[in-house]
Amino acid sequence: MKKLILHTFSTRLIGSILNFILALITAKYLGDTGRGTISIVVLNISVIMMVNNFVGGSALVYLIPKHGIGKTLLPSYLWALISVVVVYLILTTFNLNPVEYNSDLLYLSLIQAFLTVNLMTLLAKEKIIAHNISSLFSALLLFGGVLIFFFIIDNQSIDSYIKSLYIGYSVAAVISFITLVPNLSLKVPQKIFTATRELFKYGIYVQVANIVQLFNYRFSYYLLQLSFAEGTGLVGVYSIAVSFAEAFWLISKSIATVQYSKISNTDDDEYNINLTIKLAKNSFLATIILLLPLFFIPASFFTWLLSDEFIEVKNTILLLSPGILFISFSTIFTHYFSGIGKHYINTIGSSIGFVVTLVVGLLIIPKIGIKGAAITASASYFASACYTIIVFIRHTNISFRRLLPSLRNLN
């Protein structure tokens, strides 16, 4: 078990590092507009995947052991096709995707949807190593493709990045499907409609929180894009600041992964509460230590690393930093509630944050642009964190003083 957890964590860490380096490369060589275009296309693929995952997401992991691959895989593939086309039409009808990349959005989303179904099926069959390898192949091929196109072929363009996405998604989809072939049967399964209903029922329950959280994190991209003539460039600058911010979240996410595993496997309430409090303090204090150097790095560092178009990156990160701290603290509490099966609390917390994003974002982003997006994000994370922490205090009957961080707890 420990080896599988370490393998999974290592795979995710490598993928996160590669994606972060790609963000820097594309920002430096494609500028703010190029980076913004890529960010919007990738965001739209994520939106489509959220709808695909109503059936083809984590619901498969729960239901395949109950119904088998035969009753779940075919409905998942059919839903992948339907959901991709429907959401694609909505996004393109409202001009939320760069027009010249509309067809790429459709085809990439289809490949990614089938890949997601395959990966979730591998998890359901406890083929965790195969799942991790397929996921890592996708990230490595994307990274390698960009390096080859940009620095060997010397074609530094958005099209090169899109082609690399095709390579990464397609190869991973083929590898994951080949791994599944021994488990497949040509026989039409019985009671397939019963399994399909359960997929929708369970998938909707899980995905609502994920969809709300995605829009909570990324809705500002759309507001920036639609509110300004140079909106795509603003999205490019803001997305780089967000990439830096989310790099700091790896600490809390890594801590939360271990915490979630431990809480899910014990019924000792006192142990779970004490562990959560300790890890929340550790996460908060460790994030502060890593954030502090940002205040001393000159803005010129980011223009040297990227280009003059990214002069606002440092100020944007600083405005995001309160939100980074709120998330680093509250993530531990959200995983506590996930571990004890109270997912609805996290859904409510995410919804509160999204309401703040809508209200504050619509009021200030059209007026002050990137700074408004960063302020909106921090306000949203603060609202979600406050709700989650208050509920945790009430649920556990502890005093607020026990949550106050101290260096003594950082061990």
Q: How far apart are CA 352 and CA 7, in angstroms?
A: 35
Statement to judge: residues 312 and 167 lie in one domain: no
- Asked whether residue 130 is domain-assigned, the answer is yes
Is pLDDT above 70 for 7?
no
Residue 351's nearest CA partner among 200, 218, 211, 201 is: 211
The answer on 176 and 28 residing in a single domain is yes
**253 and 176 assigned to the same domain:** no
- Higher pLDDT residue, 30 or 211? 30
9 vs 323, more confident = 323
Distance CA 364, CA 378 (A): 13
- In the predicted model, is pLDDT for residue 11 greater than 90? no
For CA atoms 152, 110, 51, 55, the dihedral sign is negative
Between residues 30 and 129, which one has the greater pLDDT?
A: 30
162 and 108 assigned to the same domain: yes
HSE-up (13 A, CA, CB side) for residue 364? 14
Question: CA 380 to CA 363: how far, in whole Å?
Answer: 14
DSSP one-letter code for 306: S
Identify the burial level of 105 via C-beta atoms within 10 angstroms of its C-beta, where 0-12 means exposed, 13-18 middle and 19 or more buried. buried
- Domain co-membership, 188 together with 233: no
State how many domains the chain has.
2
Is the pLDDT reported for residue 410 higher than 60?
A: no
Same-domain pairing of 314 and 347: yes
Cβ–Cβ < 8 Å for 289, 347: no
- pLDDT digits over 39-84, tens only? 999 999 999 998 888 876 666 766 676 666 766 778 888 889 999 9
Distance in angstroms (rounded) separating the CA atoms of residues 297 and 288: 15
**Interval 238-255 mean pLDDT:** 83
For residue 397, the 8-state DSSP code is: T
**What are the DSSP calls for 121-138, one per residue?**
HHHHTT-HHHHHHHHHHH
Q: Which of 104, 97, 133, 131 is nearest to 116 (CA)?
A: 131
pLDDT grade for 193, boundaries at 50, 70 and 90: low
Q: What is the DSSP string of 166-216?
A: HHHHHHHHHHHHHHHGGG--SSPPTTHHHHHHHHHHHHHHHHHHHHHHHHH
At residue 135, the pLDDT reads 85
What residues have CB less than 8 Å from 264, skipping those under 6 apart?
Answer: 339
- Report if residue 215 sits inside a domain: no
> What is the C-alpha end-to-end distance of the chain, expressed in Å?
24
259-288 per-position pLDDT tens digit: 766 776 677 889 989 999 998 998 899 889
Q: What is the mean pLDDT of the chain?
A: 85
Domain-embedded: residue 40? yes
Same domain, 24 and 162: yes
Of 152, 171, 205, the domain-final residue: 205
Q: State pLDDT tens for residues 200-232.
A: 666 666 667 777 877 887 889 999 998 998 889
- What letter does residue 257 receive in the DSSP assignment? H
367-370 contacts, C-beta under 8 A, 24 or more apart:
369/224, 369/227, 369/228, 369/234, 370/224, 370/234, 370/237, 370/238, 370/241, 370/312, 370/316
Q: How many secondary structure helices (H) and strands (E) does the chain include? A: 13, 0
Same domain, 276 and 389: yes
> Does 36 reside within a domain?
yes
- pTM for the structure as a whole: 0.78
Residue that has been written with the tokens 């000159």 in this structure: 298
Q: Report the SS3 class of residue 363.
A: helix
181 and 290 inside one domain = no
108 and 169 co-located in one domain: yes
pLDDT band for position 105 (cuts 50, 70, 90): very high
3-state secondary structure of 295: helix
Does 166 map to a domain?
yes
Among residues 144, 204, 195, the alpha carbon closest in space to that of 168 is found at 144
Q: Same domain for 136 and 273?
A: no
What's the confidence (pLDDT) of residue 16?
81
385 inside domain: yes
Domain residues for the domain of 46 are: 2-205
Considering the domain boundaries, does residue 298 fall inside one? yes
Closest by Cα among 395, 278, 283 to 341: 395
Q: Which residue has the higher pLDDT, 107 or 195?
A: 107
Please indicate, yes or no, whether residues 259 and 356 belong to a single structural domain of this protein: yes
pLDDT for the residue 148: 97
pLDDT in tens, 280-337: 998 899 889 988 988 889 989 988 989 889 999 999 999 999 999 999 999 999 888 8
Q: Is residue 325 part of a domain?
A: yes
Cα 264 to chain centroid distance, Å, stands at: 22
What would the mean pLDDT of 354-379 be, rounded to a whole number?
Answer: 95
Strand, helix or coil for residue 340: coil
